[in-house]
Chain A
Amino acid sequence: MMLKVATNHKSNFFKKIGLDMLEFVKENVGILIGFAVLCVALSIISPAFLTEANILNILRQVSTNANLALGMTLVIIICGIDLSVGSIVALSGTVTGGLIAFSNVPIPAAVFAGILVGTLAGVFNGVMVAYTGIPSFIVTLAMLNIARGAAYVYTGGQPIRVMNEDFNVIGAGYLGAIPLPVIYSFVFLLLTAIILNKTKLGRHIYAVGGNKEAARFTGIKIKRIEIFVYTFSGFLAAFSGVVLAARMFSGQPTVGNGFELDAIAAVVLGGTSMTGGIGKIGGTLIGVLVIGVLNNGLNLLNINSFWQLIIKGIVILAAVYVDMMKKRKEAQV
């Protein structure tokens, strides 16, 4: 409450620089505290947690989910859902891997082709949602099956091994001390934040999600916005798929199973509203980190992976419940 009063009197400069940070902390205070508690607890319990190697490890592990969650944030802001991202990860990885291993296509062309195929799956999602009126849940559920099936058909169900060092660098390389996938995710994070906060497109995305009818009255081209958002989500999934294939020396048709659910969990943890119109990239970032740190911590503590799933589920429920209670309280004030 104090913050709200204070912000009204800030100068423009603070609105641009300082306020955003304050707002960010204020809006995500619940999950930030949770995240801090989690980190402190883990660093006390396990000495291996707060080491440079482990932190870089966490960042690399979350990079795929980060990419998917960025796209998913936009999709959920416009009141949609994209269930197909996990399958697109597999499809683009296998296409790229197959082109290199079977067809001797040059690496850059193979990478491009893999990303293109996945992106086109996203375009298809967007066109279907925009023009047929089929709910996004159904459209992307269908694409979940189609893309996964296509990956199986293309590979005959077997992983494609790509023993190529040049290809491997794309996913396993470093820039200085930082793994390349972390760099990619950082770039995408900036890109998505810019789209949402600094462009016309971003404001239109919030409008379409917040009130489609008002957006129509405003002359916003709703179909274009929808197609863009699903295409963007498809692109990020496809890119992640190629990077993952490179790191693993193989295009695997089974990879990415259930990735869409982790992405949705991260977005929701980050405070994006499932009813559309509300959502911030900063929130999604924290959501991704919470899930990543939780996974890492549970591993460090040697908790078996079956129990990990149960704990993750409970954390998601609890975090979203607390967030909702907080917002309900604010609405009453």
Chain B
Amino acid sequence: MSNVILEMKNIHKHFPGVYALKDVNFELKAGEVHGVLGENGAGKSTLMKVLGGIYRVDEGEIYIEGQKMAIHDVKDSQNAGVSIIHQELVLVPHMSVAENIFSGREPTGKLGFIKTEEMLGKAQHLLDFFHLGINASQLVCKLNIAEQQMVEVARAISFNSKILVMDEPTSSLTEKEVNFLFTTIENLKSQGVGIIYISHRMSELFRITDRITVMRDGQYISTKVTKETNVNDLISLMVGRELTSYYHKIPHELGANALEVKNLTRKGVFSNINFNLRQGEILGFSGLVGAGRSEIMKSIFGLDRLDSGEIFIHGKKVTIKSPNDAMNFGIALVPENRKDEGLIMKGQVGYNMTLRILDQFITFMNVDAIKENEIINTYVEKLAIKTSSTFQLISNLSGGNQQKVVIAKWLAAKPQILILDEPTRGVDVNAKAEIYEIINRLAQEGVSIIMISSELPEIINMSDRVIVVRNGSIAGMLKREEFSQERIMHMATGGI
């Protein structure tokens, strides 16, 4: 055990309404690549943020090289020898490689001027050490993504980091660039650096890691030696929870095709998407974050342009160029991110709820306040929205009630096809159950529903069929009797 450089013991972390990390243990050895695997929301990122000093633990201890560490902020974490390379790179594009590597710690002379030559020399030395073939004086914006990532690695090493965290480092890399990255990782390993490697990609995990730790629902599940495990084992560890159902689906007769799409393609985002949606059906869309589910829906809704493909509504071919076109065909989209895409946070509850249906009570210069109130109150009651008044600012409502307002906003337009993108994200358990009930009731009333969700139990409990999206294409379709968490996860991760 002498070569263990990081030990995280009994880590607990609460957020309001969420128990993000429950008694998590994690161990990393020097010269080891340790994969961390788990579904969206399993707690991987939270654990790394705790290590990186972005969050403080509620309970638990962190030991680095056997020494107990108090990590309160990012500086503490850096001083302890931890570097994190985030999924989104945080380099300054119009500065040189050297300036980026040493930003905030530039070598300076007596008068406080930066010693540019010295800085360039040091940076070049570092880059050459890893045979990166990057010129330290080059501007970062001239480099490709893989090279930029290497600059991040060099920056991390310049802190003398012993522990390097890489969060989905290959998500935007080409095959060749991935090889380049892996060579660098091997290099770092031989220097005795411990690397925590977060990824969903099974093939990469098996190629590069020594051990893999699986997390689920904020808990530590198991750690396996990579050579002694396989994809099936890992997937069952990832999804091995018991299915708790918040709501029992009442099956009902489905009607004819309400929506059918053929060969939808948006270059570089998704391609050849084919599916149909029947009247009264709940069609689940599963997949990993970034697989392209939301993007497909945005294009159907007219927010993004399609490069090719056809959309049929009730059997008729239609052209949708804007959200207004989509709404005229009876489509509504409840977006993924209510704060950025769904609501005017500076506005009131009633204002937000009616923004889509102003025609129903405003004629030219006259607001029919009585009718407006009627409409608002109908939906406040129907969706059991808890607010002190309809004039309350939306920002004062709880997440669940805000979400219900977004749903109400679109229900008020009486859609025939309702697309819900992560309808229960960030809402508490009670609000979740209520939202499920609303969705089911709508389906029974004959509304056709597409529900994107990253929560497997939710998808499995609610859907009539599930489509799994991976890397911008449909990886498979499952009927209700074929549903299982393992099968969906297999399709989503490509671990078949």
How far, in angstroms, from A273 to B356 measured CA to CA in the complex?
24
Which residue of B has the minimal Cβ distance to A16? Answer: B369
Which residue of A has the minimal Cβ distance to B327? Answer: A219
Chain B residues, CB < 8 A from A199: 362, 364-365
Chain B residues 271-287 with CB under 8 Å of chain A are none
- Residue from the list A219, A277, A278 in contact with B324, Cβ < 8 A: A219
Q: Which of B344, B358, B362, B389 has the most CB of A within 10 A?
A: B344
What is the number of residues of chain A that contact chain B, defined by CB distance less than 8 Å?
Answer: 27
How far, in angstroms, from A8 to B390 measured CA to CA in the complex?
9
Assess the A203–B303 pair: CB atoms within 8 A.
no
B338 to chain A, nearest CB (A): 9
Chain B residues 330-381 with CB under 8 Å of chain A are 333, 335, 340-347, 351, 355-356, 358-359, 362, 364-367, 369-370, 373
Provide the A260-282 mask, 1 if CB < 8 A to any CB of B, else 0. 00000000000001000110000
- Residue from the list B322, B323, B345, B366 in contact with A210, Cβ < 8 A: B345
Assess the A217–B355 pair: CB atoms within 8 A.
no
Q: Which of A8, A194, A215, A218 has the most CB of B within 10 A?
A: A218
Interface residue range, chain B: 20 to 34
How far, in angstroms, from A207 to B346 measured CA to CA in the complex?
9
Chain B residues, CB < 8 A from A207: 344, 347, 355
Assess the A210–B344 pair: CB atoms within 8 A.
yes
Assess the A211–B391 pair: CB atoms within 8 A.
no
Chain A residues, CB < 8 A from B344: 206-207, 210-211, 214-215, 277
- Residue from the list A7, A16, A200, A215 in contact with B362, Cβ < 8 A: A200
B409 to chain A, nearest CB (A): 8
Chain B residues, CB < 8 A from A198: 362, 365-367
Assess the B343–A211 pair: CB atoms within 8 A.
yes
Which residue of A has the minimal Cβ distance to B361? Answer: A200
Verify if A326 is at the interface (C-beta below 8 Å from B).
Answer: no
- Residue from the list A7, A194, A217 in contact with B333, Cβ < 8 A: A217
Chain B residues, CB < 8 A from A278: 346
Verify if B388 is at the interface (C-beta below 8 Å from A).
Answer: yes
Given contact pairs A12-B369, A219-B324, A7 touches B389 in the complex (Cβ within 8 A): yes
Which residue of A has the minimal Cβ distance to B301? Answer: A217
Assess the A218–B340 pair: CB atoms within 8 A.
no
Assess the B362–A211 pair: CB atoms within 8 A.
no
Can you report 6 residue pairs joining A to B where beta carbons are below 8 Å apart? Answer: A7-B389, A198-B366, A203-B358, A210-B344, A211-B346, A273-B346
If A16-B369, A199-B364, A206-B351 are given as contacts, then 16 extra A-B residue pairs at C-beta distance below 8 Å, sorted by A number, are: A15-B369, A15-B391, A198-B365, A198-B366, A203-B351, A203-B362, A206-B344, A211-B343, A214-B342, A214-B344, A216-B323, A217-B303, A217-B333, A217-B342, A219-B322, A219-B326
